Structure 1
Amino acid sequence: MNNTTTLCLALLGLLSIGSAAAQNAPVLQQAESGTLGADWTTPPAQAGVQYVTITPTATINAQNPGTAARVISYAVTFPGAGSYDLYARVRVNAGGANDDSFYYGNGFGTKAPADDNAWITVNQLNAVGYASGSGNVAVEGAGGAGTGVWKWINLSRFNGGEVPISFTVAAGGLAQTFQIGAREDGLDIDKLVFGQTGLYFTPDQFDNNQQGSSTPPVTFTPSGPPMAQGKSKFLGGVYSTSQKPFFNRYFNQVTPENAGKWGSVEATRNQMNWAELDSAYNLARRNGFPFKMHTLIWGQQQPIWIETLSPADQLAEINEWFAAVAQRYPNIDQIEVVNEPTNDLPLNGSTGNNGPNNPGGGAGNYYNALGGAGTTGWDWVITSFQLARQYFPNSQLMINDYSVINTQANAQRYLGIVNLLVQRNLVDAVGIQGHAFSTRGVPAATLASNLTLLASAGKPLYITELDIDGVNSAGQLDDAVQLTEYQRIFPTLWEHPAVRGITLWGYRPGHWRTTQVAYLANADNTERAALVWLKNYVRTTVLGTRQLAETAVRMFPNPAANGRVSFTGTADLTRLRITDLRGRVVHEQVLHRQPSVDLLLKLAAGLYVVQLTEQNGGLITSKLLVE
């Protein structure tokens, strides 16, 4: 081979490498660089970000932009032929689900604005996506970023109302016209990007217009086991699509976030959607975790259709709702029967802290059907628990509310409702939400004192919805601020003798307080400083215990022949757990006011640890020898 031939081949090779590298680079379009229809506007740049948004209008077409004024056209030149996915950097504003949709063209070319078939609808963007700066994670699938943040979404992989598409570029057609259309106002669009199908792009790569990769980015994988495994108290998590990755590596109790709310299950009368609730319930059952139903009665997220029924028909529907849940989920450990009674009545016109409850807003408006205030002032709560005791005789019934331990007055008011239920033997536990807005700035001693006050009703306490923000006074992400607040708040709650368990109300992006950066793990699964500390604290903190011999509970025979063992004096216990000497749970069950328990254990011969949990959260332990 002569030198000239060698040089030509080398140049061809370099051109080939350059072409491949060019195709790896995203094809970027600044949203404002297109030809904007008259209804689009370009507000002043914010923090260096120039973007487009649609002029507010009352008209929203169901499946198309409707007019040319609501369309933006782009001239896009591609580096090479192939298949490309469409990405967008967007921000959903305060309207949430009312601010989160737009259209893109069903393929390249100029589209008729009012032709349904010419447009792909993209909806439900309020709780999906990957926030800028969210770590070494590929932008694909749904993601979990929320509102108020700039975030990237792979529109070719996300079904937001219609089946998404990728875009094919032919060798002779590298220059193309592409269009987007407006649907809801309140959605800001910063950039549109075409990335080669099959490549992986992280938010940082898009933000810096860098090349994608043919291999997925390496992300952190948590190892488990659950933080509170083997403890007398559970540390649970809220269950939703964005929160379920690696759930059982951290948590050992399950509460559905929205799936158990009546409005989610029966948005249309007599049409029940159990899918997400089934998923949460089955996760708990597969892993032997306690499952808590959230929630039967509330003044939010209730079916709209029930608001206008007669009180008699409303009460009949409430009975049907309770019966349907009881039939589908026969082994619910805990049920939040009434949620937020001091803050949000199920009554249109109520002006509680979450009000005003307007018609059609999902308050339920069945307050009077349950008895209203009545003679006690809280008859509607009492009726709800009477029904729950009827339909769920073996479940632990719980009341739940927020901002009830930040002041003594709030705690005292809540205690009054609890005592009304205790007097009627209708409540088994007291739920206390732990949102950041209820604990920030409140001395830990105040929180502890009010926990003790609520415990005076004689029922175990549960912290049901704990979250702690991770931003500083300037609104910037700050790991140190979140860590300090966890170290200040969490031990006060965890170590209180009446607190039986804590449930975190989310730990990943997609968290309901994502804007306040309350999540503990990043989108790439890496753990923020507060989570690293929390794991170590929960696993190493020794909670108070008593030996079996010091109590009225009896276990016999011991040694257990053929795995048969019985317990008596268990009426005041809530849980029985047996572990091996390495701390692995080999048997666990919830106890429902049972005076005795008989077990036939299928265990290998050896020594085991028995853990019995009291109603006040105390732990009784003993050794069991299986022969």
Structure 2
Amino acid sequence: MFRRRLPVLLLPLSLLAAELRAQNAPVPQQAETGTLGADWTSPTQAGVQYVTVVPTATINGQSPGTAARIITYSVTFPGAGSYDLYARVRIGSGGANDDSFYYGNGFGSKLPADDTNWITVNQLNGVGYTGATEVVTGAGGGQQQVWKWLNLSAFNGGEPPISFTVPAGGLTQTFQIGAREDGLDIDKFVFGETGRFFTVANLDAGAQGSTTPPVVFTPTGLPMAAGKPKFLGGVYSNPQKPFFNNYFNQVTPENAGKWGSVEAVRNVMNWTELDSAYALAQRKGYPFKMHTLIWGAQQPIWIEDLPASEQLREINEWFAAVAQRYPNIAQIEVVNEPTNDLPLNGSTGNNGPNTPGSGAGNYYNALGGAGTTGWDWVITSFQLARQYFPTTQLLLNDYGVASSTANAQRYLGIMNLLVARNLVDGVGIQGHAFETRNVSAANFAANLTTLASAGKPLYITELDIDGVNAANPPVLDDAIQLAEYQRIFPTLWEHPAVKGITLWGYRPGHWRTAQGAYLANGDNTERPALVWLKNYVRSTVLGTRANQANAALTLAPNPASHGRFQVQGGERVQAIRVFDLNGRLVQEIPGANRATVEVALSVAPGMYLVQVQEAQGITSRKLVVE
């Protein structure tokens, strides 16, 4: 009997290959199953076996350096294709000093000291995913001392990340990681198919991810303070990058501008993250504030034991390197937290005691120590900053200085020392939740007015407001955060001497994530305080600012031949003071309440700062004398 054949439907080869690739299961790899170099150990804690590197005083800047700091794995894949690399890690109590390692730049055995063979993964302290249903993409908000997942192929932690290609004829591959900082624990890795979306639960179980992208909220619109006479800026780091331009119009790097982050290894400079923040500011036309040059924390460990003269030489090199690389810095926090954290081992300030190896810098005496003023080290720092950054607005920055009348007066005293030498251009005032909580808005406003009496604009540099209740353990509470924003933010924003506010983070990965200080959730949705803040800033009409500089004032000609020029466009000029770049007053001329004043300087050729005092405030201009 004749039987009729049914047609066979053949898939095109390209579709068949794609279908086969889509079946590639994830490949888990326990970290301790590799061949461990001599510097690695494999302890077990709370049922989790992991790997960690033994403590070491020094690290290589861009590579493991020796074979002892490498772990080698043999990984067999189910099929050819592209895979992303995921890792389950835990950051130790050292935070930013415990949060980096290397992985091989592709498969194969790598040369330990060849930087091109390795991808640096740094700044893991404030990123990662812990919630079972969270999709592990590029950042997240996981904190230190908790196990969390990272997608290393989607996270730039110092160098561009990579995915891994498995060829059809080579399903078994060699994969290597390398140690950088101690204090980082690694539990396991997962190679997951590129293009799939893995949740924390998927990765924990080694289960396949979804091909459907997660649904997330996408913010739109211009920065909150667009068109306003004050900026509302944000701190810039990997966790805070998403949708930055939809909220903020000023940029401050979070940790990337701290000396210890840039030059952890002497003469090995890591500018990557700082470059990223600066590039955004230049691209968008936002003011860029450098945070920070001098501080008693997160400084290079290697500088602590150098002779004072060598320390001072290194400080000069640090200033010069920043000035050369970033010529268009709008503001610099020259000294950070002078009343709380001296750059001195043995100091017992609020952040102390500063012990050897803690990152305090220990260069307090190299800058002059207390000296005759009690703050000579601060004055020296600003003299150097004026020398290296003659056209940049120089700020002092500290916390606790507006929440206490006594602290405000002490801080004002330091400011006045700098003002008298024409070394400072603005007052930086941190505004963390532990400062503003339980302080009345009226008291905060009064202390701001006290600090404004130095005659310099005020900047709220590090504002954050917590959002958890008093339960044990605390629970996220939108209403508490909203009420506190509504209580304190208008006091800051509407004060006439405040010229700008910078939020110290707004997403998970915030340094106070555990306190609920973030304003946007991991899926980008806005908490009620952020919704209110956007509406408030955009709708509030700000009045005339006190101590306003005169934008119309000019010096002509500039350059000035033989020191002769005119101050033009003034309004009732009361006095003109001319300072050299070390902040020394070289000449003072009465203004006689005139709009135009003839000036003849008896000075050597060079650059000078001309400060013009008028009834409505002080205007500063740079002058070149030929």
TM-score (norm 2): 0.71
Q: CA deviation at 1:400?
A: 0.6
Q: Could you tell me which residue of structure 2 aligns to residue 592 of structure 1?
A: none
| CA RMSD between the two structures | 5.2
Q: CA deviation at 1:343?
A: 1.0
Q: Could you tell me which residue of structure 1 aligns to residue 599 of structure 2?
A: none
The more displaced of 255-264 and 50-59 is 50-59
Question: Residue 3 and residue 418 in structure 1: after superposition, are their counterparts in 2 closer, same or farther (change >3 A)?
Answer: farther
Q: What SS class does the counterpart of residue 445 from structure 1 fall into? A: helix
For residues 581-600 of structure 1, the aligned pairs below 5 Å read none
Runs of at least 5 residues in structure 2 that lack an aligned partner in the other structure: 10-15, 554-567, 575-594, 597-615, 620-626
Q: CA deviation at 1:526?
A: 2.6
For residues 120-519 of structure 1, the aligned pairs below 5 Å read 124=122, 126-127=124-125, 129-133=127-131, 137-140=135-138, 145-155=142-152, 166=164, 168=166, 187=184, 193-203=190-200, 206=203, 211-269=208-266, 272-473=269-470, 474-519=473-518
Is the contact made by 1:266 and 1:272 (CA closer than 8 Å) also made in structure 2? Answer: yes
Question: Residue 281 and residue 77 in structure 1: after superposition, are their counterparts in 2 closer, same or farther (change >3 A)?
Answer: closer
Is the contact made by 1:552 and 1:569 (CA closer than 8 Å) also made in structure 2? Answer: no
Q: CA deviation at 1:503?
A: 0.6
Is the contact made by 1:102 and 1:122 (CA closer than 8 Å) also made in structure 2? Answer: yes
Distance 1:156 1:278 in 2: 21
Question: Residue 516 and residue 90 in structure 1: after superposition, are their counterparts in 2 closer, same or farther (change >3 A)?
Answer: farther
Is the contact made by 2:426 and 2:458 (CA closer than 8 Å) also made in structure 1? Answer: yes
Q: CA deviation at 1:273?
A: 4.7
Question: Residue 482 and residue 537 in structure 1: after superposition, are their counterparts in 2 closer, same or farther (change >3 A)?
Answer: same
Is the contact made by 2:332 and 2:395 (CA closer than 8 Å) also made in structure 1? Answer: yes
The more displaced of 333-342 and 194-203 is 194-203
Is the contact made by 1:415 and 1:454 (CA closer than 8 Å) also made in structure 2? Answer: yes
Q: What SS class does the counterpart of residue 130 from structure 1 fall into? A: coil
Q: What SS class does the counterpart of residue 239 from structure 2 fall into? A: coil
The more displaced of 339-348 and 188-197 is 188-197
Distance 1:185 1:309 in 2: 24
Distance 2:104 2:275 in 1: 36
Q: CA deviation at 1:106?
A: 11
Distance 1:616 1:507 in 2: 34
Q: CA deviation at 1:454?
A: 1.8
Question: Residue 164 and residue 488 in structure 1: after superposition, are their counterparts in 2 closer, same or farther (change >3 A)?
Answer: same
Distance 2:527 2:480 in 1: 11
Q: Give the partner amino acid of 1:539.
A: R
Q: Give the partner amino acid of 1:89.
A: R
Question: Residue 63 and residue 97 in structure 1: after superposition, are their counterparts in 2 closer, same or farther (change >3 A)?
Answer: farther
Is the contact made by 2:496 and 2:544 (CA closer than 8 Å) also made in structure 1? Answer: no
Offset from partner CA, 1:535-574 (integer Å, 9 cap, x none): 1111112222489xxx997989xxxxxxxxx9654989xx
Is the contact made by 1:137 and 1:523 (CA closer than 8 Å) also made in structure 2? Answer: no
Question: Residue 489 and residue 161 in structure 1: after superposition, are their counterparts in 2 closer, same or farther (change >3 A)?
Answer: closer
Question: Residue 135 and residue 222 in structure 1: after superposition, are their counterparts in 2 closer, same or farther (change >3 A)?
Answer: farther
Is the contact made by 1:256 and 1:293 (CA closer than 8 Å) also made in structure 2? Answer: yes
Higher relative contact order (CA 8 A, sep 6+): 1
Distance 1:285 1:172 in 2: 45
Alignment identity in percent?
A: 68
Is the contact made by 1:65 and 1:103 (CA closer than 8 Å) also made in structure 2? Answer: no
Is the contact made by 1:138 and 1:216 (CA closer than 8 Å) also made in structure 2? Answer: no
Q: CA deviation at 1:228?
A: 0.6
Q: Give the partner amino acid of 1:534.
A: L
Question: Residue 546 and residue 325 in structure 1: after superposition, are their counterparts in 2 closer, same or farther (change >3 A)?
Answer: closer
Q: CA deviation at 1:187?
A: 4.9
Distance 2:316 2:516 in 1: 40
The more displaced of 159-168 and 266-275 is 159-168
Q: What SS class does the counterpart of residue 277 from structure 2 fall into? A: helix
Distance 2:340 2:302 in 1: 23
Offset from partner CA, 1:496-533 (integer Å, 9 cap, x none): 22211101112223333334343222333332222222
Distance 2:45 2:201 in 1: 24
Q: Could you tell me which residue of structure 1 aligns to residue 561 of structure 2?
A: none
TM-score (norm 1): 0.70
Q: CA deviation at 1:342?
A: 0.4
Q: CA deviation at 1:401?
A: 0.4
Is the contact made by 1:54 and 1:182 (CA closer than 8 Å) also made in structure 2? Answer: no
Is the contact made by 2:240 and 2:506 (CA closer than 8 Å) also made in structure 1? Answer: yes
Is the contact made by 2:251 and 2:288 (CA closer than 8 Å) also made in structure 1? Answer: yes
Q: Give the partner amino acid of 1:126.
A: L
Runs of at least 5 residues in structure 1 that lack an aligned partner in the other structure: 10-15, 45-49, 557-565, 573-594, 597-613, 618-627
For residues 38-49 of structure 1, the aligned pairs below 5 Å read 40-44=42-46
Q: CA deviation at 1:189?
A: 5.7
For residues 606-625 of structure 1, the aligned pairs below 5 Å read none
Q: Give the partner amino acid of 2:413.
A: G
